Amino acid sequence: MDKIYLRESDRLEVTILIDNYTDIFMTPNKDVDKRLSPSESILAEHVLSCLIKVFSGSEEYLILMDTGMSSKCFFNNINALNVDINKIDSVILSHGHFDHIGGLVALFNQVSNEIPLILHPEAFLERF
């Protein structure tokens, strides 16, 4: 197994890509930098997917945690939020359930570079 070396970070920004709640009438505040029209609204699924931006000195790293239940929801929200998938540095899977990996294969088929996938070695064991 390859070792993963963690570096100290100065701060993190977390963008929720998918969760089980959406409100197209959300009023933007100082932390929301894009107002979405109804035609480009965010979709929801019963899952959590996050984009984590890590700042370390002058460097930035983009980590994707989970890809939702469906590639349709995942890519709808990625596109609505103007996320450049080619800037993702690594993907972390919290665990191997289907509702966390739905957009994974489509993501890997669409990126122009290789992205490391980080998961527990037993993530996809057959379960009862």
Would residue 98 count as lying in a domain?
yes
Would residue 2 count as lying in a domain?
no
pLDDT at 1 over 70: no
pLDDT attached to residue 46: 87
Neighbours of 60 (CB within 10 A): 13
More confident residue, 10 or 97: 10
CA separation for the pair 16, 19 (Å, rounded) = 7
- The tens digit of pLDDT for each residue in 37-88 reads 556 678 888 888 999 999 999 999 999 999 999 999 999 999 988 999 999 9
CATH number, residue 97: 3.60.15.10
pLDDT band at 29 (very low <50, low <70, confident <90, very high): very low
CA separation for the pair 87, 80 (Å, rounded) = 16
Would residue 124 count as lying in a domain?
no
Give how many domains the chain has, as a whole number. Answer: 1
pLDDT at 127 over 80: no
Q: Which domain holds residue 16?
A: 11-118
